[in-house]
Amino acid sequence: RLPVEPGIPGVVHILDPHCYRCPFGQEPESCRRECIAHVEQIIRFEGPENVAALLIEGVTGTSGIIVPPDDYWPRLREICDRYGILLIADEVMSGFGRTGEWFAVNRWGVVPDMITMAKGLTSGYLPLGAVIVSEPIAAYFEDHMFWGGLTYSSHPMSCAAAIATLQVYEEEKLLEHTRQMERVMADGLADLQDRHPCVGDVRGLGLFWVLELVKDRETREPLVPWNARPDELGPMPALTRFTRERGLYTFNKWNWIFLIPPLPITADQIAEGLAVIDEALKIADEFVR
């Protein structure tokens, strides 16, 4: 956030439900869902009457594809209902089939009050963002002015691209295909973790995955530090160069390798890509203690 500080006044941040790097020092066998209690605690500290909404990504994206526990979203829904707070799902990254459902929250049977979206809405061919709102919110604006707008709202060309994209999702059954490829990706990445000591964690859903690289599996020390400077990136530039020279493009950030392929990818193509990563990880293995 530093490059765009100061942030929006009145926004309070909460800690991620990060099971691999639990901010509350828990392991799966000892977890009492402190991450959920933390959300309610923050609401109580701020005063529920002062909290308009809780805005959370369906699955956290560029912060490391943090998949929450299965009861996380349902219990957030309960908390918001109890205090009269709107629940907003940011599905810009995790929506439109990326996790094998139209929206990531669908995997947990949760209906937010609002859903924000972009990216997969047009598959990136044209810029378009949108917001889905619940019927009560929509009804409110039937007789209340909505004080907002954008110069290019409802641009016909972008909307046409969105309609065409949605048709492709349905006609090519991309959600069903993504759910099938999830198992292929999960098995392939688990195999890489078994064979490479630099792989500390594998996490994801659908075709939305990350490898987290470490120097030491026992201590979980990251292969490179958070917010690493160029001179602190260790083997990551060489690893990135290795994969790109072999025609494989991944988004690598600090000690993470993001694996977010196009939804129509085949099992053979996944295997081909993972074979390149398999070789590349040998570079990182040299830095393991």
Residue 150 has pLDDT above 70, yes or no: yes
Please report the pLDDT score of residue 1 as a whole number.
Answer: 67
How much is the pLDDT for 185?
97
Q: What pLDDT was estimated at residue 289?
A: 81
Q: Residue 110: pLDDT band by 50, 70, 90 thresholds? A: very high
pLDDT band at 5 (very low <50, low <70, confident <90, very high): confident
pLDDT digits (tens, 9 = 90+) for 226-255: 888 889 999 999 999 999 999 999 999 999
CATH, domain 2-171, list 3.40.33.10, 3.40.50.150, 3.30.1360.200, 3.40.640.10: 3.40.640.10
CATH number of 174-285: 3.90.1150.10
The stretch 260-288 carries a mean pLDDT of: 95
- Is 22 exposed, middle or buried (CB count within 10 Å of its CB: 0-12, 13-18, 19+)? middle
Give the mean model confidence (pLDDT) for residues 80-94.
Answer: 96
- Annotated domain spans of the chain: 2-171, 174-285
Q: In this structure, are residues 201 and 20 in contact, taking their beta carbons and an 8 Å threshold?
A: yes
Q: What CA–CA distance (Å, rounded) separates 94 from 57?
A: 8
Give the pLDDT band (50/70/90) at residue 88.
very high
Query: Which backbone phi and psi does 5 adopt, to 5 degrees?
Result: -70, 150
Q: With bands split at pLDDT 50, 70 and 90, how would you rate the model's confidence at 9?
A: confident
Cα separation, 68 vs 89, in Å, equals 13
Strands 130-133 and 199-205: unpaired
